[in-house]
């Protein structure tokens, strides 16, 4: 996994609530046996019509908005556990998703792939959406070590929470497996005393 | 201090603690073809073997066709994914009930029926409906592919313990109201994100009176309100089922039963969140929107507060009733409602009736065993006489990934678990309901109140 330290970027606003992982990447695009290339079908059915033509209204087709930060409505990533949703966002170039809350499995999958979920309050989300709407060029700065999200050119600086273990993993580019493999002896000891039927 | 059942199972599986997170041992992992190939690749890249082969079991379900399963899969990418699963299982020595095997089926149907799922276990699968196995009093939850690899490599995961929620349902269900209606009702009350961050224990006399298969339907949809999982403490019904399906050494059964009986929340245990519902308030349920939280009693009208975007997708309006709504498809299947009891209920209702000419009906058994049993009991002939097609097992039209899809703009009353946009195929309009509400819609060509048909 690549290290995540800080990012400065414009943002893509997606003020829709309960965006499920079937929208992020529909099931019919989950047939690959590798992790690459899912970005082409990110938000496929919102991005393209049945003939494959871009849907003008959708934000990813709007040249005003670009960047590596996606700002989304509450309960982002609900539904299916498909990690392909995190892979698709990352492959497309997204490195941070900001929302007022995330579905649990999506959050875990993101953290395991170097995609940072930043959870802020509803009020802070409103401020961010307004800032992007007023000026799509506005930049944001995300500093993981300081757990700080800033709207550049303004005094708005929001702190965000993150699991300390996951923070350490992201900052160092470690994944859970590196850590778990170091515990092999402990796992074997656990197995010997476990009562199972 | 008094503990919840989740606290107890969690603690019994804790291997290590790190920075507020915990390393939890996983007793059983189920694998399928969609979320496992990159995990096996990961093992190969690291030069690792599967750590505990006998604690992993694979099947092919998401991509498989539901007719002519003896022929090669026609869609090349699906065929490749199923072939990759076969090759990975052979290379790493993981047991596989693949396409064509007599034990093949939807991963959450075969786990319990083959005796893999037992009380007190920790169970994972790269599939959010792993919560199904919680019906046995197990901590069971869906994970991503990176975590599938971690379990393959170490049989452990790094997790943060979820909060505890208890949902109590008391009282007797009305005739025509089933486990599916109970869970759709609960989700409609809590909303699609209402249990996020929690593990749910279902309790109360209504839950206690449900069969194991009905309990699986309830636990299956826990994820649809955002819960990490849902479980039900084991009781006589659980123990009878597990004994019937037990595949281990019978000599350990008495001791095992004693252990399973101990798996309850302590009387004074404190839950972070509690809800209580009265069974008498629950009616047959239908969904009208594009997430499972957008559900209502079949006699109700779509709330005026419902968002425009999902209603526009569904071709519905605020204030509409769904009673009398014409539909074109009925799908009876999925890990939620494809077990033998579901098929028996449907057969009992449709016996001697005939489907509407305007409706296509698919019945997809959850496993080869369910299919075999349905045929042995003569349910296939009842379905055939009614114009319902009994096909072969798989996830089928639940997720628009295989050949079974609902055409754009058409309505499908589905016993599955998700009504997301495009879930059953691009543009498909899904109305979630119980198997009996679905069967009645097939007969009438429109949505009806099943209570008036019994």
What does the pLDDT read at residue B9? Answer: 98
Across the interface, whether the CB atoms of A20 and B143 are under 8 A apart is answered no
Mean pLDDT of chain B: 97
In CATH terms, the fold of domain B5-159 is: Aconitase; domain 3 (3.30.499)
Q: Who among B146, B160, B192 is closest to A83 (CB)?
A: B146
Question: Which residue of chain A has the CA closest to B309?
Answer: A16
In CATH terms, the fold of domain B163-280 is: Aconitase; Domain 2 (3.40.1060)
* Position B1 pLDDT exceeds 90: no
Contacts of B18 in chain A (CB under 8 A): 165, 179
Q: What percent of chain B has pLDDT over 70?
A: 100
What does the pLDDT read at residue B374? Answer: 98
pLDDT tier, B289 (very low <50, low <70, confident <90, very high otherwise) = very high
- Closest CA–CA distance from residue B442 to any residue of chain A (Å): 26
Tell whether ipTM is more than 0.95: yes
**For residues B138-164, average pLDDT:** 98
Residues of chain B with CATH 3.30.499.10: 5-159, 284-452
Question: Which residue of chain B has the CA closest to A189?
Answer: B15
pLDDT tier, A96 (very low <50, low <70, confident <90, very high otherwise) = very high
Q: How far apart are CA B63 and CA B87, in angstroms?
A: 16
Across the interface, whether the CB atoms of A197 and B256 are under 8 A apart is answered yes
Q: Evaluate whether the domain defined by B284-452 bears CATH number 3.30.499.10.
A: yes
Question: Which residue of chain A has the CA closest to B38?
Answer: A34
Q: What does the pLDDT look like over A48-77, one tens digit per residue?
A: 999 999 999 999 999 999 999 999 999 999
Across the interface, whether the CB atoms of A163 and B18 are under 8 A apart is answered no
Q: What does the pLDDT look like over B393-435, one tens digit per residue?
A: 999 999 999 999 999 999 999 999 999 999 999 999 999 999 9
Q: Who among B20, B196, B422 is closest to A101 (CB)?
A: B196
Find all residues with CB under 8 Å of A33, minimum gap 6, and list them: B37, B38, B41, B80, B81, B84
What does the pLDDT read at residue A103? Answer: 98
Residues of chain B with CATH 3.40.1060.10: 163-280
Q: Does B315 touch chain A if contact means CB atoms closer than 8 Å?
A: no
Contact between A124 and A105 under an 8 Å Cβ cutoff? The reply is no
Q: What does the pLDDT look like over B323-344, one tens digit per residue?
A: 999 999 999 999 999 999 999 9
Most confident of B18-27, B150-159, B241-250: B150-159
Contacts of B160 in chain A (CB under 8 A): 163
What does the pLDDT read at residue B248? Answer: 87
pLDDT tier, A197 (very low <50, low <70, confident <90, very high otherwise) = confident
- Scanning B410-449 for CB atoms below 8 A from A yields 418, 420-423, 426-427
DSSP for B208-221? Answer: HTS-HHHHHHHHHG
Across the interface, whether the CB atoms of A179 and B41 are under 8 A apart is answered no
Find all residues with CB under 8 Å of B321, minimum gap 6, and list them: B299, B300, B301, B302
What does the pLDDT read at residue A196? Answer: 80
Q: Does B86 touch chain A if contact means CB atoms closer than 8 Å?
A: no
Q: Of B156, B263, B291, which to mutate for an interface test with A (greatest number of A Cβ within 10 Å)?
A: B156
Question: Which residue of chain A has the CA closest to B116?
Answer: A197
pLDDT tier, A29 (very low <50, low <70, confident <90, very high otherwise) = very high
Q: What does the pLDDT look like over B350-389, one tens digit per residue?
A: 999 999 999 999 999 999 999 999 999 999 999 999 999 9
A–B CB contacts, 8 A cutoff, strictly below: 186
Q: What does the pLDDT look like over B220-268, one tens digit per residue?
A: 999 999 999 999 999 999 999 999 999 889 999 999 999 999 999 999 9
* Position B19 pLDDT exceeds 90: no
Find all residues with CB under 8 Å of B336, minimum gap 6, and list them: B129, B180, B217, B220, B221, B415, B416, B417
Question: Which residue of chain B has the CA closest to A108?
Answer: B144
Contact between B399 and B318 under an 8 Å Cβ cutoff? The reply is no
Across the interface, whether the CB atoms of A75 and B193 are under 8 A apart is answered yes
């Amino acid at each position: 996994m690549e290290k995540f330290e800080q990012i400065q970027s414009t943002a893509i606003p997606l003020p829709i609530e309960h965006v499920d992982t079937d929208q992020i990447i529909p099931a019919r695009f989950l047939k690959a046996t590798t992790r690459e290339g899912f970005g082409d079908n990110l938000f496929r059915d919102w991005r393209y019509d049945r003939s494959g033509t871009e849907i003008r209204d959708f934000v990813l087709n709007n040249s005003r908005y670009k960047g590596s930060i996606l700002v989304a409505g509450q309960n982002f990533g609900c539904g299916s556990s498909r990690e392909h949703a995190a892979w698709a966002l990352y492959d497309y170039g997204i490195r941070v998703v900001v929302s007022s809350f995330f579905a649990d499995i999506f959050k875990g999958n993101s953290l395991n792939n170097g995609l940072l979920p930043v959870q802020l309050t509803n009020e802070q989300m409103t401020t961010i959406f307004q800032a992007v709407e007023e000026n799509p060029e506005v930049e944001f700065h995300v500093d993981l070590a300081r757990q700080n999200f800033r709207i550049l050119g303004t005094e708005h600086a929001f702190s965000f929470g993150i699991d300390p273990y996951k923070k350490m993993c992201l900052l160092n580019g470690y994944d859970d497996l590196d850590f778990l493999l170091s515990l092999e002896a402990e796992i074997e000891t656990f197995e010997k005393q476990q009562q199972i039927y | 201090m008094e503990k919840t059942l989740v606290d107890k199972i969690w603690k019994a599986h804790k291997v290590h603690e790190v920075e507020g997170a915990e390393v939890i041992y996983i007793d059983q992992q189920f694998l399928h073809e969609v979320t496992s190939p990159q995990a096996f690749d990961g093992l190969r890249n690291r030069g690792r073997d599967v750590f505990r082969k006998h604690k992993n079991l694979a099947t092919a379900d998401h991509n498989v066709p539901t007719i002519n399963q003896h022929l090669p899969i026609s869609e090349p990418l699906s065929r490749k994914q199923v072939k990759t699963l076969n090759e990975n299982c052979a290379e790493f020595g993981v047991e596989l009930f693949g396409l064509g095997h007599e034990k093949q089926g939807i991963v959450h149907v075969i786990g319990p029926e083959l005796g893999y799922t037992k009380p007190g276990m920790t169970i994972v699968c790269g599939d959010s409906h792993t919560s199904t196995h919680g019906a046995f009093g197990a901590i069971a939850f869906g994970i991503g592919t990176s975590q599938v690899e971690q379990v393959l490599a170490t049989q452990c995961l790094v997790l943060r313990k979820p909060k505890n929620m208890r949902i109590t349902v008391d009282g007797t269900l009305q005739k025509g109201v089933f486990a599916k209606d109970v869970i759709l009702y609960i989700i409609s009350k809590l909303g699609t994100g209402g249990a996020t961050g929690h593990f749910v224990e279902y309790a109360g006399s209504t839950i206690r009176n449900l069969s194991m298969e009905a309990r699986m339907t309830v636990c299956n949809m826990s994820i649809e309100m955002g819960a990490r999982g849902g479980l039900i403490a084991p009781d006589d019904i659980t123990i009878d089922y597990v004994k019937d399906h037990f595949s281990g050494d019978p000599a350990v059964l008495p001791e095992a039963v004693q252990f399973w009986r101990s798996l309850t929340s302590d009387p004074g245990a404190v839950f972070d969140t509690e809800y209580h519902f009265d069974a008498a308030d629950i009616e047959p349920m239908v969904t009208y929107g594009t997430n499972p939280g957008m559900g209502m009693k079949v006699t109700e009208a779509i709330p005026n507060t419902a968002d425009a975007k999902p209603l526009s997708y569904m071709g519905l309006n605020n204030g509409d009733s769904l009673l009398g709504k014409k539909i074109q498809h009925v799908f009876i299947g999925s890990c939620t409602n494809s077990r033998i009891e579901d098929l028996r209920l449907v057969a009992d209702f449709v016996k001697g009736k005939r489907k509407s000419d305007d409706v296509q009906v698919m019945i997809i058994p959850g496993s080869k065993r369910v299919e075999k049993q349905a045929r042995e009991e003569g349910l296939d002939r009842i379905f055939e006489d009614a114009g319902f097609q009994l096909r072969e097992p798989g996830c089928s039209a639940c997720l628009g990934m295989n050949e079974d899809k609902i055409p754009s703009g058409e309505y499908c009353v589905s016993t599955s678990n998700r009504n997301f946009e495009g879930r059953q195929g691009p543009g498909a309009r899904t109305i979630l309901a119980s198997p009996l509400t679905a069967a009645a819609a097939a007969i009438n060509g429109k949505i009806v109140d099943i209570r008036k048909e019994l």
